[in-house]
C-alpha cells in the first residue's frame, strides 16, 4: 500500500521505518526537515506538503496535540486533497471531543478515521513492539490494520466508535502518571529511612510490581536518567488534562488526576520541562527535602 505519514518525531521515525520494512511505500511529511533526510536515505518519498501525504491508501499521523492536528490536516486544507477511500489512522493521544470531531469530519468527506493511539516509548516503536489501540468503523479498521501490524506487538480492537481508543489511551496514561508519582513518593519514603531508592525498586519490580512499566520507570528514576526525554513533561501534563476533561464530561471525578496536574506544573516550574515525564517523580524527593542525586 501507499502510506502517507505525517509527524516524524522521536516516536514517529521508528514507526515510519517499521512501515517501510513491512513493504509499504512511505510518503512522509514533517514540519522540520532534518528527520526526513534520514528517512529519504532509506527509501521514503519526502513530500512538500501535508496535502501530498494524503494522496495515499492509508494516512498515519503522529502529532503532539489536538490543535496541531487541526492546523496541519484541516486548517491547511490537506484533507480536501485526500485520495478517495483514504483511511486516516491517528496515532496521537487526543481528547475525546477531538476524536469525535475527526470521525464526523472524515465521514462527511467520505474518508475513514481510525483512532489508533499507541502504548510504548521510542525504543519500543523502533522495535515494532508497540501496543496499538484501534477503534472506528469496521471497514476503516480493517483497511488500516495491515499497516498498524507492521509496528505493533498487538493491535487491540476497541469497537466502532473512534473515541473509544482515545478514552482507553487517556486512561492508560493517567494510570502511568499515577505510577510514576507513586514510585517517587515510595522512593522518598525509603530514602528518608536510610534505604536507597534503587534497593526499594529492585524489591518492588522483582516481586509485587514485576511488570514492564514499573521496571522501566523504576530504573529511570533510580538512575535519574531523565534525559534525553522519550516523552517530555509538558506532554504528560497535556494527557492528565485530557483525563480531567474526559472525566468532567461524564461527571466522573478524578481526584488523583488533579494532584498529578499540580505535580506536573511544579516540575515544569522547577525547570524540568525538557526532561522525560518520569521526572515527575523527582518532585516527591524535593518535597521531602532530599533532591535526587
Q: Catalytic amino acids?
A: 169
247/192 Cα distance (integer angstroms): 35
**What cell does 28 get?**
512522509
Q: How far is CA 121 from CA 14, 185, 209, 266, in A?
A: 10, 23, 19, 24
Q: For residue 258, what are the contacts with CB-CB under 8 A and spacing of at least 6?
A: 244
Q: For residue 215, what are the contacts with CB-CB under 8 A and spacing of at least 6?
A: 205
Q: How far is CA 49 from CA 16, 35, 77, 91, in A?
A: 17, 15, 10, 19
Residues 83-101: b if buried by 16+ CB within 10 A, e if exposed = eeebbbbbbbbbbbebbbb
- What angle (nearest 5°) sits at the alpha carbon of residue 192, between those of residues 188 and 197? 50
Task: Using the structure block, give the residue that is written with the C-alpha cell 485520495.
Answer: 83
The length of the chain, given as a count of residues = 293
- Is residue 112 within 8 Å of 136, Cβ to Cβ? yes
Amino acid at each position: 500500500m501507499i502510506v502517507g505519514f505525517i509527524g516524524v518525531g522521536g516516536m514517529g521515525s521508528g514507526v515510519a521505518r517499521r512501515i517501510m520494512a513491512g513493504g509499504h511505500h512511505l510518503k512522509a511529511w514533517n514540519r522540520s526537515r532534518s528527520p526526513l533526510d534520514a528517512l529519504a536515505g532509506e527509501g521514503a518519498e519526502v513530500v512538500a506538503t501535508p496535502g501530498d501525504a494524503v494522496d495515499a491508501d492509508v494516512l498515519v499521523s503522529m502529532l503532539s496535540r489536538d490543535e496541531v492536528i487541526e492546523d496541519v490536516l484541516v486548517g491547511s486544507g490537506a484533507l480536501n486533497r485526500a485520495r478517495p477511500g483514504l483511511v486516516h489512522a491517528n496515532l496521537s493521544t487526543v481528547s475525546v471531543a477531538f476524536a469525535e470531531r475527526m470521525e464526523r469530519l472524515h465521514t462527511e468527506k467520505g474518508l475513514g478515521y481510525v483512532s489508533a493511539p499507541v502504548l510504548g516509548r521510542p525504543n519500543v516503536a523502533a522495535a515494532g513492539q508497540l501496543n496499538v489501540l484501534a477503534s472506528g468503523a469496521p471497514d476503516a479498521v480493517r483497511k488500516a490494520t495491515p499497516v498498524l501490524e507492521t509496528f505493533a506487538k498487538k493491535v487491540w480492537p476497541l469497537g466502532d466508535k473512534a473515541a473509544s481508543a482515545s478514552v482507553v489511551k487517556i486512561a492508560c496514561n493517567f494510570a502511568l502518571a499515577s505510577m510514576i508519582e507513586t514510585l517517587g513518593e515510595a522512593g522518598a519514603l525509603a530514602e528518608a529511612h536510610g534505604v536507597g531508592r534503587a534497593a526499594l525498586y529492585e524489591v518492588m519490580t522483582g516481586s509485587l510490581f514485576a511488570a514492564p512499566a514499573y521496571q522501566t520507570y523504576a530504573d529511570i528514576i533510580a538512575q535519574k536518567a531523565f534525559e534525553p526525554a522519550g516523552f517530555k513533561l509538558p506532554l504528560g501534563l497535556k494527557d492528565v488534562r485530557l483525563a480531567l476533561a474526559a472525566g468532567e464530561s461524564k461527571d466522573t471525578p478524578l481526584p488523583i488526576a488533579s494532584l498529578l496536574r499540580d505535580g506536573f506544573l511544579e516540575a515544569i516550574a522547577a525547570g524540568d520541562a525538557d526532561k522525560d515525564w518520569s521526572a515527575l517523580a523527582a518532585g516527591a524527593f524535593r518535597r521531602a527535602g532530599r533532591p535526587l542525586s
